[in-house]
Structure 1
């Protein structure tokens, strides 16, 4: 990285984005290979499932319209009703398969990008083959961290739903005050969910570069983010907004644009796929840079030689980085 680790703490919103861009631009070859091997397929299945789900739902809607015109109790009615049930089952199974495949590729992509930047940081020789050989080993730790995050999000949603139901029951649905309270409650809920997601994304970097993973990585991430909360929120929010924007464009101008020609939709779809792949890569690089920025802010200096040695051990049996190596020595500013 161009910026010295003591100076990383002073990077703000634009500084982190600029540092992320400089790294990707300086190492275009290796990042292009990672993107083509992992991130492009990840983006493809994400956008493709939107199109497939839309086609399946349109098919169900057609059958439901036919069902409404069919005499109830007839053989045709029972046949169409059974067909609709099987189509909903098909959607659910497809969604489950998609989520599993998406999760695997997402964690593999995170492993590859974080490891790549760590190698760049320590000045190690870096090849695409080395990155891909390390990825499956680091992926297991990321999975544990994800499962812990999933449990936290699930519990958070259960509590949120219980509170929302209680508010509706107490204040009644028709009460104007209740509607206003539920609106603000939804905002608070969204902020909390965003915060948990932000902690998880930084915890993914911690899981790769430190001995901590799972709940310990989540706790470490929460501690690291203190003091840099504003910058972290701004970067994660803006990058997330960009990804949502690309998804919205794909839905409106590709998936739902039935009146447009095939060539137009295919061309725009390829454009959305390319842009989403670039944004995903950039987001993963940025969240890794945020890790180093937060470490620097807390006056902790990463021992590059120790980190390099452990990165070399990744090529054999996976050995997690020890606290005394990556938890870093404090330095005076």
Structure 2
């Protein structure tokens, strides 16, 4: 993040990745502790989820429907799923808050430490959680609309024409994927906005929508790439570690599982760094300068010394 703010808009996807990967070297101890305490448990939970649910699902398939044993297994599965989602979302928001706060502190030359990051998280978490609720509501509405269109498609299209039916389904799912990735990009950007600007919730989503204009292509590629890599890692973990069975030795499955967890940790860390850098790229593209002194004070507000963040100024008027 040593580039002048007005030059950040010209970064390519490769430059964003390179810049993101280089950030931890400026405070290796802080990022190491964040990774160990937050990102590693998050990554492990994502992959280990199927490892714990697979035996329960297998047991359910072998139990007669409606039996007492099946009811008990369903209760266990639903309880586990509920606890898992709470744990996953909490760690996801905590990891986002920690990385975005640390990157912003480095950007403003604010002293960085693991303790200061942890001290700032409670205030940041509340803002991120409200934004997350709005994004979740958007996702729910979108999925309901998508299911409605899917039902109408099945009713309207002649299912006897197999080629037309398959083509229609593919088009609908392609549109679903595109919109899903776009909403995910909005969410990631809104998360950074919620930490670095005095807005959150719906206002943060609106702000991220404005910032994403002109950089939709870059945002789409970054988010789709992240989701695709995570999907491949989950697929390999499921096929080898969870469902490997007798095809792989226990030691081999443990080694592969550990390796995939490590890869996912790196992917998640880089993903969080990328979303922070992408925020500055979007701000630069729209010539919305970041007053570093105001941002410095804003970050200090999370530690109990709040000073309202000044409005953005034009690049040409910003004192770098």
Shorter chain as denominator, the TM-score bin is over 0.9
For residues 331 and 130 of structure 1, the distance between their equivalents in structure 2, rounded to whole angstroms, comes to 30
Unmatched 5+ stretches in structure 2 = none
Matching residue of 1:226: 213
Q: Deviations over 1:267-326 (max 9, x none)?
A: 211111111111101100000100000001111111111111221221116x4853xx2x
1:37 equivalenced with 2:23 (yes/no) = no
Matching residue of 2:250: 262
- Contact 1:209–1:320 under 8 Å retained in 2: no
User: How many equivalent residue pairs?
Assistant: 315
- Alignment partner for residue 85 of structure 1, among 62, 68, 71? 71
1:122 equivalenced with 2:113 (yes/no) = no
- Contact 1:210–1:320 under 8 Å retained in 2: no
Q: Deviations over 1:64-89 (max 9, x none)?
A: xxx4xxxxxxxxx97xx221122122
- Contact 2:193–2:200 under 8 Å retained in 1: yes
1:330 equivalenced with 2:314 (yes/no) = yes
Shift of 1:57: 1.0
| TM-score (normalised: structure 1) | 0.90
Matching residue of 1:72: none
For residues 173 and 53 of structure 1, the distance between their equivalents in structure 2, rounded to whole angstroms, comes to 36
For residues 253 and 165 of structure 1, the distance between their equivalents in structure 2, rounded to whole angstroms, comes to 36
- The residue correspondences of 1:211-290 to structure 2 (distance < 5 A) are 211-259=198-246, 260-290=248-278
Matching residue of 1:169: 155
Deviating more after overlay: 250-259 vs 281-290: 250-259
For residues 113 and 282 of structure 2, the distance between their equivalents in structure 1, rounded to whole angstroms, comes to 28
Matching residue of 1:48: 48
1:305 equivalenced with 2:289 (yes/no) = no
Matching residue of 1:151: 137
- The residue correspondences of 1:130-141 to structure 2 (distance < 5 A) are 130-141=116-127
For residues 160 and 144 of structure 2, the distance between their equivalents in structure 1, rounded to whole angstroms, comes to 24
Matching residue of 2:12: 12
For residues 263 and 26 of structure 1, the distance between their equivalents in structure 2, rounded to whole angstroms, comes to 37
Q: Deviations over 1:229-281 (max 9, x none)?
A: 11111111112211111111111111111112222111211111111111101
Shift of 1:172: 4.2
For residues 301 and 135 of structure 2, the distance between their equivalents in structure 1, rounded to whole angstroms, comes to 28
Matching residue of 1:195: 182
For residues 301 and 197 of structure 2, the distance between their equivalents in structure 1, rounded to whole angstroms, comes to 13
- Contact 1:2–1:19 under 8 Å retained in 2: no
SS at match of 2:6: coil
SS at match of 2:37: helix
Shift of 1:61: 2.2
- Contact 2:184–2:223 under 8 Å retained in 1: no
- Alignment partner for residue 209 of structure 1, among 196, 201, 205? 196
Deviating more after overlay: 293-302 vs 243-252: 243-252
1:178 equivalenced with 2:165 (yes/no) = yes
Shift of 1:168: 1.1
